[in-house]
Amino acid sequence: MLEVGQKAPEFSLPDQNGVIHKLSDYLGKKVILYFYPKDNTPGCTKQACGYSERYPHFAEKNAVVIGISKDSVASHKKFEEKQNLKFTILSDTDLEVIKLYDAWKEKKIYGKTALGVIRTTYLIDENGIIIKANDKVKAADDPEKMLGEI
Q: Is residue 94 part of a domain?
A: yes
**pTM for the structure as a whole:** 0.94
Percent pLDDT > 70 in the chain is 100
Q: Is residue 19 part of a domain?
A: no
Distance CA 74, CA 110 (A): 27
> How many domains does the chain divide into?
1
Give the contacts of 1 (CB within 8 A, at least 6 positions apart): 102, 120, 133, 135
Condensed to tens digits (0 to 9), the pLDDT of residues 68-88 reads 999 999 999 999 999 999 999
- Domain interval for residue 74: 36-149
Q: Is 44 a catalytic residue?
A: yes
Give the contacts of 2 (CB within 8 A, at least 6 positions apart): 8, 9, 101, 102, 122, 130, 133
For residue 107, what pLDDT band results from cuts at 50, 70 and 90? Answer: confident
Q: Is the pLDDT of residue 33 over 80?
A: yes
Q: Is the pLDDT of residue 119 over 80?
A: yes
- Least Cα distance to 44 among 8, 80, 93 occurs for 80
Identity of residue 147: L
Q: Which of 13, 23, 44, 66 is catalytic?
A: 44
Sign of the torsion angle spanned by Cα atoms 61, 97, 139, 46: positive
Q: Is residue 11 part of a domain?
A: no
Contact predicate 97/68, CB 8 Å? yes
Range in 56-60, 66-70, 82-86, 106-110 with the lowest mean pLDDT: 106-110
